[in-house]
Structure 1
């Protein structure tokens, strides 16, 4: 949902530029950091670096906007609205911890970090002075839900 709201805010051309470039930057970050390791030459599949790039650009451009994020409480997931900057910081900290602990999985965590950082940088370059306070414009959630005429999500509990 974050991508759709951000794309409506900045337009499809800027969104596409940020998406594609952050995907490339994420892949390059992963590849450069893994040169000379057993992961060198590993084929990367997916768009997670670009997704993290969009998150970084969105958080930089509209930090006070709110997004819905699942918060685990035991076996229950509660959906809460939090500021986009906090949601992105949570993901950034999680990825950094995973990298620092050298978790051995098949996820390109450095691509996530590279995408996020390049998203912030590209937003600073491309969107520049277009930053506005959420109070001046509709929030990302309002733009998304109003465009699809769906009811706004409140605090919802999901049990697994």
Structure 2
């Protein structure tokens, strides 16, 4: 299932009064970082296939998150899990806490990047418009940190590198669900011959969350998708949006809905 709705705007709502500069900026930074990485295939590679595999593994270890490092300090030697035959780097100048930030802009493949950026493009602008760019940027980073630490709590001894913006984007999805529950989202279902169908956001995002929950309960710990990070980020995003919007309503009164918009 692929949700698509331009800029994640509620059906019938007029165009945002300001462009979603933070959302577009995040998409741009993630794309540039990936394009310049040894994983993209766009940077001329040198050396043998083994050397290239080693460079990619060291890149992920350097800029990604390793849950065990968040609790026990930097890993060295064979604990890094480099491919056999790689020369172990003498020292990675890395801060485990800051690696949570850098990992939000690192992706493992073109498919990984495009999937995350599509969700951010579809839903990010609607959340940014409601929260404002500064608060939205802080919210995005905080969602990414909490999602990553949520995963690290559940996998405290894992030495598997975690990269990608999906935890932070899950926070955006949770916030969107609270702020625009009845917005119409166009979704494509492969088993229905890729027919575009429109559903309310609460159904699309609720279904997505249930899938993450079921996958987290049935998937064994190991390489793959960090479902626990998605659940943590989504729950934080929903609760944070609820707290911020309710506080705003208490301070300034409930905002009258514009034409075609439903209040949450």
Shorter-normalised TM-score: what interval? Answer: 0.7 to 0.9
Unaligned runs of 5+ in 2: 1-121
1:120 to partner: Cα distance: 1.0
Task: Give the secondary structure class of the aligned counterpart of 2:190.
Answer: strand
Q: Runs ≥4 in structure 1, deviation > 3 angstroms?
A: 129-133
State the aligned residue count.
135
The reply on whether 1:85 has 2:202 as its aligned counterpart is yes
Q: Which has the higher contact order (CA 8 A, sep 6+)?
A: 1
C-alpha change, 1:138 and 1:84, in structure 2 (3 Å) is: farther
TM-score (norm 1): 0.73
In the alignment, what sits opposite 1:153?
none
Q: Is contact 2:126-2:176 (8 Å) kept?
A: no
Task: Give the secondary structure class of the aligned counterpart of 1:128.
Answer: helix
In the alignment, what sits opposite 1:72?
190
- What does residue range 1-160 of structure 1 map to in structure 2 within 5 Å? 1-36=122-157, 40-74=158-192, 76-103=193-220, 105-128=223-246, 136-137=257-258
Task: Give the secondary structure class of the aligned counterpart of 2:194.
Answer: strand
Higher strand residue share = 1
C-alpha change, 1:90 and 1:105, in structure 2 (3 Å) is: farther
2: distance between equivalents of 1:79 and 1:68?
6
1: distance between equivalents of 2:248 and 2:198?
24
C-alpha change, 1:100 and 1:129, in structure 2 (3 Å) is: same
